[in-house]
Amino acid sequence: MKQLNIGIVGSGRIGNVHAQSITYAIPEARVVMVTDVIEENARKLAEKFDIPKYSSNYMDLINDPEVEAVLVCSPTPTHADISIAAMRAGKDVFCEKPVHTSIEKILEVQKVAEETGRKLQIGFNRRFDHNHSRVGSLVREGKLGNVEIVKITSRDPEPPSPEYAASSGGLYIDMMIHDFDMAMFLAGSDVVEVYAMGTSLVDPRIGEAGDVDTAIVTLSFANGAIGVIDNSRRAAYGYDQRVEVFGSLGMAADENDGDSTVRVSTADGVVGDKPKYFFLERYYASFTDEIRAFIKAVQTDGEVPVGIHAGLMSVVIAKAAKLSLDEHRPVKVSEIYGG
Amino acid sequence: MKQLNIGIVGSGRIGNVHAQSITYAIPEARVVMVTDVIEENARKLAEKFDIPKYSSNYMDLINDPEVEAVLVCSPTPTHADISIAAMRAGKDVFCEKPVHTSIEKILEVQKVAEETGRKLQIGFNRRFDHNHSRVGSLVREGKLGNVEIVKITSRDPEPPSPEYAASSGGLYIDMMIHDFDMAMFLAGSDVVEVYAMGTSLVDPRIGEAGDVDTAIVTLSFANGAIGVIDNSRRAAYGYDQRVEVFGSLGMAADENDGDSTVRVSTADGVVGDKPKYFFLERYYASFTDEIRAFIKAVQTDGEVPVGIHAGLMSVVIAKAAKLSLDEHRPVKVSEIYGG
Amino acid sequence: MKQLNIGIVGSGRIGNVHAQSITYAIPEARVVMVTDVIEENARKLAEKFDIPKYSSNYMDLINDPEVEAVLVCSPTPTHADISIAAMRAGKDVFCEKPVHTSIEKILEVQKVAEETGRKLQIGFNRRFDHNHSRVGSLVREGKLGNVEIVKITSRDPEPPSPEYAASSGGLYIDMMIHDFDMAMFLAGSDVVEVYAMGTSLVDPRIGEAGDVDTAIVTLSFANGAIGVIDNSRRAAYGYDQRVEVFGSLGMAADENDGDSTVRVSTADGVVGDKPKYFFLERYYASFTDEIRAFIKAVQTDGEVPVGIHAGLMSVVIAKAAKLSLDEHRPVKVSEIYGG
Amino acid sequence: MKQLNIGIVGSGRIGNVHAQSITYAIPEARVVMVTDVIEENARKLAEKFDIPKYSSNYMDLINDPEVEAVLVCSPTPTHADISIAAMRAGKDVFCEKPVHTSIEKILEVQKVAEETGRKLQIGFNRRFDHNHSRVGSLVREGKLGNVEIVKITSRDPEPPSPEYAASSGGLYIDMMIHDFDMAMFLAGSDVVEVYAMGTSLVDPRIGEAGDVDTAIVTLSFANGAIGVIDNSRRAAYGYDQRVEVFGSLGMAADENDGDSTVRVSTADGVVGDKPKYFFLERYYASFTDEIRAFIKAVQTDGEVPVGIHAGLMSVVIAKAAKLSLDEHRPVKVSEIYGG
């Protein structure tokens, strides 16, 4: 099969990750062009992986007939417009999450995807993680019976700066959005209601900036299951990423990945490795696998594994969670969208 | 030291457990009398452990000058009155939980305890479990730093009959009461607000009987920590009892106890033991240890490790949870008591 | 069923353990008499568990018609003669290991058992351990297929005094004898050849006393399987007791027991409990269970689970191992016995 | 730093692995030429990774002035001569194991390395494995105190054909050679004596072909430690690769890697993943890391982490083990070499 020609908009950290994956691990595709508003970044990325073309203007990429599919890895506020432009230009699109912080804008992206018939995949990479995806598979294979309880723990190793927290849109949309998508993935069902608790225990300046750094959100799913997510911006022992699904036939739960399986027994106890600390190290393979799945969907005209519905609902739920926190009451998802 | 003379009111399952513990494992005390409204039960228990006296009337025990301390193991509605009578008669009292389903009645018990100055311990045995108590110790020793998140999973192996569910007062007071107490024990702080989710996924007849069998309750603690408890009336793999405390310096979590540490590796996977199935097997040692602690408190005039405050607040929280479920809103504990 | 009347010869540590087990956990039997060459020890033990009779002369016990079965818990050199006397007096016998350090003497015991038809069980308690017995069950149920490799790790928390080591008969008969029996139990087959390595790395005085404190012994079994045992007299992390059986269909392995299942995750790592430190704590339940099995065999006229063959072969193998070490060559078990 | 120009002799499986590692994961080097006696294989490999030159004659590569370092990935019998030719031509050499099955030939390679002063690294990749290397680091950092016992378990998922077994030189040199090197790596000491057990339990045709498929070998190290290796040609549950080091301060042990950390709890038990099945998947990263270390040694003129001594001694021990099996006695390594 002919290699798929890919263009990457945005040459920052995640753009680099995808360029590296495609170059080294996905022979079915190649990166033919990269862009970045800072041309130097695009040039460096192009050089690093022998990418033939680069530009500071993403429209150059979108108008390039050689580019068949576009990865939108630019800053969040630009995701939607670039995706729309790319689809209108006939390209298939992989868009990092969140698609946008405005529901209306996401709906506009959705509309264009429908009108143009282009593939549109959203970058919820954790669905492709070797641990979480296996739990998801067990659910879909029916090994756990009817899903009754979904639990997700997601804790960062270090808090962001208070400035970042203030400008991030808040923990629910900046951090927990991944978990909202994971919850729907694991439950196999949409969320219909949320109740959000949140507080600032890690860094008081985050609280002063109007955000929370420690949070628990409970979920009601359309299929009758219930769930809970807990987040912290700081775990002393590293990046804590665990999920658990409890069903009528049993439970599947995963543990964190460490650097080794070694356990050291001394007079002080039996000590094993901490969880991997850095999200790129922890989730590296999942970034490769989501892009591989996108390329396969394009090349075989198959369905993308994570569509715009996931992109939409994750933001809707995050907004419902924020409303729940603000008004201190359970909030129906339909209050935000679809009511 | 002279053996403490103990009388047991109620010769059912838990009365038998305590009699066995004292006879076989606690040389500091002995059981001198047992009672049961069904005299035959009292007679059998007395015979089984060579207990000198038995009666069908608990007042015989309370009026017996040989009896120094009373274990109240009778049906729940009688806990409070028997405890009050025993304390008024100058006996120290160990009372099974819940003390009563009426807050007023519990307050009356509390008042009598204060007036008489007798010891009064409530039977929250799980605090003495080898796993959970170790997590609690780590919290109190400061090894986890400030407590930020408390998580408790508690799932029974099999649901009760719908009839039982209907008459039990509901899952929150019948089952989750243990977890409310555990949450306060682990957080080292009282609960100030709850939000309860509950549904009937295990047995529709439980739902028809007005109760829930699957539940998630979130908690706010007075010290600023937040928490969550999930319960199910049926876990296909057995009795699931786990706690986790997350703090500023780290996390402590326990796993279920199995019958062995053996893992079998075959072409089908690597298989370990299921959790112990029966609560008496799982928690047997904790029943012994709570009684041992009670006896020590009596003999050394020390503080009982689980006082009436725990008995009161666990019921208060259960009622707040039920109100939260009924009114579909977060409920302050002070709405139920102390407001 | 009528309670079995048991007499215990030897009121030391293990005599106390058995007395406690029978009194508190085995209602099918009772201890009616205990003896010890130091009468005070016997008196104390009798008092502790309300045992009616005691003596400083074991023949008083053997001649007592009330005693139906005898537990021989006296020092090793006396095991054989007391067992013989008891069987000749018509008593069933449970004899601690090793039966004797002389093969001839063990054969004499065996002969008397055959002549008198009395039950004779040897005290290899580890076969009854919840972990190891489960591995043995998997072997016998065929879940692992044909046994191919047996591995046993057995390490004490602290070395004995050099004086003890010098007088103990050496590590192979004093410590590894348990593992020789365990190896045959797990393989379901006798050992036919051994090769012994041994050295003194823990305490040079043990080496100067002519003994080893660190040892590896390989085994060939009659059924074609092979095996290896490693021993150390000192493990910094506690009492290390693990077995592994590898067969054509898979492997079963156990892990050590700890005091709790708690794992603590901090910046220093993920720390779990050390193995239980003291053998009586680690193996307490197995002592109860071997006695329970003995009593059942007596009362139902069934076969004892650990017969004189195990008592004989474990000593034979220990002697073969010592010869192997001394002559630095593999030694056939038939060189010691049965050739 | 300038990229190191590498030539690869042998374009089979392992040649491909190294070419891929260098191309995708080691920017410090590039492959400039590959060879294979089957030219088609060399051509394909060159094409796959955009390697400029290929040949069917390894002397073309050795005589190519652009090639600075050579990876010898050809069949075992040719390792020594190609390594010698390359070193004589001034190239640094990475040579797959075993260097040769003849001690004399290995000594010749060693002599040429000394004479020419070229780097010569031997391909014992497992030293670079994330699990085993961590155990080795703990030993070298002194965290375990003095090494006393080393244990290695190494079991293949499936047996080779009897034909392969017959021509492989036998299990000790074909399979256990890795473990001999690992044992010395973990003990930090040479082996001075071995005793080998071996039998054919997996496939009788392997026994008929004069080889064993199930083996236990005990080891004495120069530093006084003792050790044991067990091998099987077939583990029903996959590729079993575990090491354990026991020292005066404690123990370090690793577990197998699985595909995920998920555990599934159902009525049938708690099931985790089997070990990874295929050695290339299990050890992939270690192949990359050994080449990275080689390149670093060349570029910094540092010491190679695995020198010819390891290549020599592993073969010497394998021969000693074979002699031990044949003559059924412990064999000093000095009987084979260095005596």
CB C315 within 8 A of CB C177: yes
CB A81 within 8 A of CB A62: no
CB A236 within 8 A of CB C266: yes
For residue D94 the two structure tokens come to 């990475």
Instruction: Count chain B–chain C contacts defined by CB atoms under 8 A.
Output: 83
pLDDT of D165 reads 86
Does the distance separating the beta carbons of A201 and B216 come in below 8 Å? no
CB D271 within 8 A of CB B269: yes
Q: Is the pLDDT of residue D168 over 90?
A: no
Which residue numbers of B have CB closer than 8 Å to A's CBs?
A: 145-146, 148-149, 151, 153, 155, 195, 197, 199, 201-202, 214-216, 218, 220, 224-228, 230, 232, 234-237, 240, 246, 248-251, 328-330
- The C-alpha atoms of residue A106 and residue A100 are separated, in whole angstroms, by 6
From C273, C130, C131, select the one nearest B130 (Cα to Cα): C273
Q: Which residues of C touch A269 (CB under 8 A)?
A: 237, 271-274
Does the distance separating the beta carbons of D230 and C240 come in below 8 Å? no
Q: Which residues of D touch C214 (CB under 8 A)?
A: 148-149, 226
- The C-alpha atoms of residue B139 and residue B131 are separated, in whole angstroms, by 13
From C179, C331, C225, C214, select the one nearest D330 (Cα to Cα): C331
- The C-alpha atoms of residue C283 and residue C126 are separated, in whole angstroms, by 7
ipTM summary value: 0.96
Q: Residue C197 forms beta bridges with which residues?
A: C216
Measure A134 CA to nearest chain D CA, in Å.
Answer: 7
For residue B27 the two structure tokens come to 């040389």
Facing B260 at nearest CB: one of C23, C134, C249: C134
Q: Which residues of A touch B220 (CB under 8 A)?
A: 197
Residue of B nearest to C136 (CA): B262
Does the distance separating the beta carbons of D270 and B237 come in below 8 Å? yes
Does the distance separating the beta carbons of C267 and A237 come in below 8 Å? yes
Q: Which residue has the tokens 């020609």?
A: A5
Q: Residue D255 forms beta bridges with which residues?
A: none
Q: Residue C4 forms beta bridges with which residues?
A: C29
Q: Which long-range contacts (CB under 8 A, 24 or more apart) does D132-136 make?
A: D132/D182, D132/D185, D132/D186, D132/D241, D132/D243, D132/D254, D133/D286, D134/A259, D134/A260, D134/A262, D134/D252, D134/D254, D135/A262, D135/D186, D135/D243, D135/D244, D135/D245, D135/D252, D135/D253, D135/D254, D136/D185, D136/D186
pLDDT of A321 reads 98
Q: Is the pLDDT of residue A123 over 90?
A: yes
Q: Tell me the Cα Rg of chain A.
A: 20
Q: Which residues of A touch B195 (CB under 8 A)?
A: 195, 197, 218, 330
- The C-alpha atoms of residue B316 and residue B324 are separated, in whole angstroms, by 12
CB C240 within 8 A of CB C254: no
| Alpha carbon D216 to chain centroid, angstroms | 19
Q: Is the pLDDT of residue C1 over 80?
A: no
Residue of B nearest to C259 (CA): B130
Does the distance separating the beta carbons of C216 and D197 come in below 8 Å? no
Residue of B nearest to A240 (CA): B251
- The C-alpha atoms of residue D62 and residue D93 are separated, in whole angstroms, by 11
Does the distance separating the beta carbons of D201 and C146 come in below 8 Å? yes
Sequence-distant (≥ 6) Cβ neighbours of residue B7 within 8 angstroms: B31, B32, B33, B34, B35, B61, B62, B64, B67, B69, B70, B71, B91
Does the distance separating the beta carbons of C218 and D224 come in below 8 Å? no
Residue B168 — very low, low, confident or very high, per pLDDT cuts 50/70/90? confident
Facing A228 at nearest CB: one of B201, B228, B330: B228
- The C-alpha atoms of residue A237 and residue A156 are separated, in whole angstroms, by 10
Does the distance separating the beta carbons of C267 and A271 come in below 8 Å? no
Mean pLDDT value of segment A234-251: 98
Does the distance separating the beta carbons of A270 and C274 come in below 8 Å? yes
Q: What angle do CA C318, C324, C329 make, to 5 degrees?
A: 155
| Alpha carbon C145 to chain centroid, angstroms | 27
Measure C168 CA to nearest chain D CA, in Å.
Answer: 23
Q: Which of C264, C268, C276 to mutate to probe the B interface, most B CBs <10 Å? A: C264
Which residue numbers of C have CB closer than 8 Å to B's CBs?
A: 23-25, 130-131, 134-135, 138, 143-144, 249-257, 259-267
Strands C269-272 and C263-266: antiparallel
Residue B177 — very low, low, confident or very high, per pLDDT cuts 50/70/90? very high
Instruction: Count chain A–chain B contacts defined by CB atoms under 8 A.
Output: 100
Q: Is the pLDDT of residue D289 over 90?
A: yes
pLDDT of A338 reads 87
- The C-alpha atoms of residue A331 and residue A321 are separated, in whole angstroms, by 7
Q: What angle do CA B191, B192, B194 make, to 5 degrees?
A: 85
pLDDT (tens digit per residue) in B210-264: 999 999 999 999 999 999 999 999 999 999 999 999 999 999 999 999 999 999 9
- The C-alpha atoms of residue A143 and residue B237 are separated, in whole angstroms, by 13
Does the distance separating the beta carbons of B266 and D269 come in below 8 Å? no
Question: What are residue B171's phi and psi, to 5 degrees?
Answer: -55, -40
Residue of D nearest to A130 (CA): D260
| Alpha carbon A218 to chain centroid, angstroms | 20
Residue C142 — very low, low, confident or very high, per pLDDT cuts 50/70/90? very high
CB A232 within 8 A of CB B226: no
Measure A260 CA to nearest chain D CA, in Å.
Answer: 5
Helices (H), C257-333: 279-300, 308-327
Does the distance separating the beta carbons of A195 and B225 come in below 8 Å? no
Q: What is the DSSP string of C152-199?
A: EEEE-SSPPPHHHHHHTT-HHHHTTHHHHHHHHHHHTS-EEEEEEEEE
Sequence-distant (≥ 6) Cβ neighbours of residue C141 within 8 angstroms: none
pLDDT of C339 reads 72
- To 10 degrees, the CA torsion angle through B155, B156, B158, B161? -110
Facing B270 at nearest CB: one of D265, D267, D273: D273
- The C-alpha atoms of residue B312 and residue B181 are separated, in whole angstroms, by 10
Q: Which residues of A touch B232 (CB under 8 A)?
A: 148-149, 246
H or E, element range at A133? helix A130-140
Facing C274 at nearest CB: one of A235, A238, A265: A265
Q: Is the pLDDT of residue C333 over 90?
A: yes
pLDDT (tens digit per residue) in C264-284: 999 999 999 999 999 999 999
From A110, A215, A123, select the one nearest A170 (Cα to Cα): A215
Facing B274 at nearest CB: one of D236, D269, D272: D269
Statement: the pTM of the whole predicted model exceeds 0.90: yes
Sequence-distant (≥ 6) Cβ neighbours of residue C92 within 8 angstroms: C68, C69, C70, C118, C119, C120, C294, C298
On the 0-12 / 13-18 / 19+ scale of CB atoms within 10 A, D204 is: exposed
From D32, D4, D28, D36, select the one nearest D19 (Cα to Cα): D32
Residue D261 — very low, low, confident or very high, per pLDDT cuts 50/70/90? very high
Q: Is the pLDDT of residue A1 over 80?
A: no
Sequence-distant (≥ 6) Cβ neighbours of residue B323 within 8 angstroms: B331, B335, B336
Residue of B nearest to D257 (CA): B270
Question: What are residue C337's phi and psi, to 5 degrees?
Answer: -155, 140
Does the distance separating the beta carbons of C138 and B264 come in below 8 Å? yes
pLDDT of A167 reads 86
Does the distance separating the beta carbons of C201 and D195 come in below 8 Å? no
CB B98 within 8 A of CB B315: yes
From A322, A320, A312, A316, select the one nearest A99 (Cα to Cα): A312
Residue D339 — very low, low, confident or very high, per pLDDT cuts 50/70/90? confident
**E-strand spans in A41-177?**
53-55, 69-72, 92-95, 120-122, 147-155
- The C-alpha atoms of residue A324 and residue B264 are separated, in whole angstroms, by 47
From C152, C150, C145, C151, select the one nearest C250 (Cα to Cα): C145
Residue of A nearest to C272 (CA): A270
Residue B88 — very low, low, confident or very high, per pLDDT cuts 50/70/90? very high
Measure B274 CA to nearest chain D CA, in Å.
Answer: 5
Does the distance separating the beta carbons of A195 and B214 come in below 8 Å? no
Which residue numbers of C have CB closer than 8 Å to D's CBs?
A: 145-146, 148-149, 151, 153, 155, 195, 197, 199, 201-202, 214-216, 218, 220, 224-228, 230, 232, 234-237, 240, 246, 248-251, 328-330
A148 HSE (CA, 13 A, CB side): 28
Facing C266 at nearest CB: one of A236, A263, A267: A236
Dihedral class, residue B224 (left if φ above 0, else alpha if ψ from -120 to 50, else beta): left
Does the distance separating the beta carbons of B270 and D271 come in below 8 Å? yes
Dihedral class, residue B158 (left if φ above 0, else alpha if ψ from -120 to 50, else beta): beta
Largest CA distance in chain C: 67
Facing C148 at nearest CB: one of D195, D232, D237: D232
pLDDT (tens digit per residue) in B277-314: 999 999 999 999 999 999 999 999 999 999 999 999 99
Facing A262 at nearest CB: one of D25, D135, D265: D135
For residue C73 the two structure tokens come to 């818990």
Q: In what order do the strands lie in the sheet with A120-122?
A: A53-55, A29-35, A4-9, A69-72, A92-95, A120-122
Does the distance separating the beta carbons of C220 and D216 come in below 8 Å? no
Q: Which of A138, A171, A216 to mutate to probe the B interface, most B CBs <10 Å? A: A216
Q: Is the pLDDT of residue A138 over 90?
A: yes
pLDDT of D197 reads 98
Neighbouring chains to A with at least 3 Cβ pairs closer than 8 Å: B, C, D
Q: What angle do CA C283, C287, C293 make, to 5 degrees?
A: 135
CB D13 within 8 A of CB D77: no
For residue A256 the two structure tokens come to 């964190």
Q: Is the pLDDT of residue C195 over 80?
A: yes
Q: In what order do the strands lie in the sheet with D69-72?
A: D53-55, D29-35, D4-9, D69-72, D92-95, D120-122
Q: Is the pLDDT of residue A297 over 90?
A: yes
Q: Which residue has the tokens 């890919």?
A: A6
Query: Helix, strand, coil: what percent of chain A each, to 5?
Result: 40, 25, 35
